[in-house]
Amino acid sequence: MQYKKVLPLAVASIVSAQDPSLTDALGSQNSSLSSLNDLLSSNPELANSFNNLKNVTILAPSNDALDSLTKDNDTLTEYTKSGYLQALLNYHVLNGTYHNTSFTNESVFIHTALSNSTYSNVTGGQVIEARLDGDNVTFFTALKQNASIVTPNVNFTGGTIHIIDSLLHVPQNVSDTLSNSNLTAAEGAINTANLTDTIIDTHNVTIFAPNNDAFEAIGSIIGNLSSDDLTSIVGYHVINGSVNYSTDLKNSTANAVNGEKLTITVNNGTIWVNSAKVTVPDILLANGVVHVIDGVLNPNNTSAAPDTTATSATAAFSGASSGTEGVPFTSGVTTPTSTFPAATSAGGSAESSSSKGAAMPMKTGAVGAAALFGGAAVFVNM
């Protein structure tokens, strides 16, 4: 889908003094934003907060994008009463003014106005990933679901508005995210180690989540793991106190929350953690980010290094092989009924587009993993 180039950045800066108010700007696009206008009009407090915005970029869902929400009166009433509607719309507000020409093929992670700790446990407000996808400026949110600009640069006194073709999805907690990404073994391992609530409640985390094939490849040793072994393995996949998106991962080392060292290697744009390759980066969480990897990390083998020429993952557990019970840790874990982009698309491409619903995320907490594992992670450049 091609978008129209309405107003170049240079011209926008010249006419900024003549830009309309937000209400007038939205009204000028009434044929495509009438649903958003009606939503704000029916919520005066929400409308007032939006009218006072300064130096922001509003990603305004079109009528079609808002259709499923505005036509479901029960859901809309629930969202309004709970305060989730405010959180959802705040997630559509980027901090800073970004015209369509601001974006390139390289991903950027921009903080939004969603800072309500009930739904976001990330310093500076929840983020959205943005980059060019072909000719479209595309925004990637929870589970790599995406929305693209269809009309850019509708300027107003507080910044600019881009009309987008889908409602943005607020990132959810780690349990829901792993389940809906078909990372059911990783979810099950966290559950079995009794660490689900601890990780959900942690502020600012980076999680390297092995895919199901990675867990199946070490199935022969799973039955021999003690509770302490499993806790250490799960902790070796989590960095506490630092949200590291793919653009932050450089050749470096970091301490996982179990106290052992992780080595990050970047080669020709591909990222490895020890000997495991990142296959799907940047699945956003309520409290951080998940990167999918193709091997289970071994805290007793911290020197495991990548084989950049290999076509399959280099085993970090000596002598391990596939077990006879299928994918470990998945018994009792709900298998997703829908295939989300995060489960199938490393690039989060627009071809695997978002669903139109807007599921309310589970609430976050404010307790840190440090109580269980120790202090925050430290990255050291190599």
> Which CATH number do you get for residue 194?
2.30.180.10
Q: How far apart are CA 102 and CA 137, in angstroms?
A: 10
- Whether residue 135 is found in the same domain as residue 94: yes
**Structural domain includes residue 274:** yes
**Structural domain includes residue 327:** yes
**Structural domain includes residue 241:** yes
- Whether residue 100 is found in the same domain as residue 129: yes
Given 107, 129, 164, the domain boundary residue is 164
8 A C-beta contact, residue 127 and residue 111: yes
- pLDDT the model gives residue 13: 41
Entry pTM: 0.87
Q: Phi, psi at residue 32, to the nearest 5°?
A: -115, -10
- pLDDT the model gives residue 5: 36
pLDDT digits (tens, 9 = 90+) for 121-175: 999 999 999 999 988 999 999 999 999 999 999 999 999 999 999 999 999 999 9
**Structural domain includes residue 307:** yes
Q: How far apart are CA 216 and CA 211, in angstroms?
A: 9
- Whether residue 195 is found in the same domain as residue 343: yes
Radius of gyration of the chain from Cα atoms?
A: 22
- pLDDT the model gives residue 311: 79
- Whether residue 187 is found in the same domain as residue 266: yes
Given 118, 133, 164, the domain boundary residue is 164
- How many other β-carbons are positioned within 10 Å of the β-carbon of residue 173? 22
Residue span of the structural domain in which 38 resides: 9-164
- Whether residue 345 is found in the same domain as residue 267: yes
Give the residue ranges of the chain where pLDDT is below 70: 1-17, 337-382
8 A C-beta contact, residue 62 and residue 33: yes
- Whether residue 202 is found in the same domain as residue 316: yes
- Whether residue 367 is found in the same domain as residue 276: yes
Residues 6+ apart with CB under 8 A from 274: 262, 263, 295, 297, 298, 301, 302, 304, 305, 306, 316
Q: Quote the tokens at residue 224.
A: 């021999």
- pLDDT the model gives residue 180: 93
Given 134, 164, 194, the domain boundary residue is 164
- Whether residue 152 is found in the same domain as residue 194: no
Amino acid letter at 227? S
Alpha helices by DSSP H, 15-93: 22-28, 30-41, 44-51, 63-70, 73-82, 84-90
Q: How many domains does the chain have?
A: 2
**Structural domain includes residue 3:** no
- pLDDT the model gives residue 341: 63
- pLDDT the model gives residue 345: 43
Report the greatest alpha carbon distance in the chain.
70
- pLDDT the model gives residue 379: 42
- pLDDT the model gives residue 39: 93
**Structural domain includes residue 2:** no
- pLDDT the model gives residue 329: 95
- pLDDT the model gives residue 314: 78
**Structural domain includes residue 169:** no
**Structural domain includes residue 235:** yes
- Whether residue 139 is found in the same domain as residue 180: no
Q: How far apart are CA 330 and CA 151, in angstroms?
A: 44
- Whether residue 160 is found in the same domain as residue 251: no
- Whether residue 129 is found in the same domain as residue 182: no
pLDDT averaged over every residue in the chain: 86
- Whether residue 115 is found in the same domain as residue 215: no
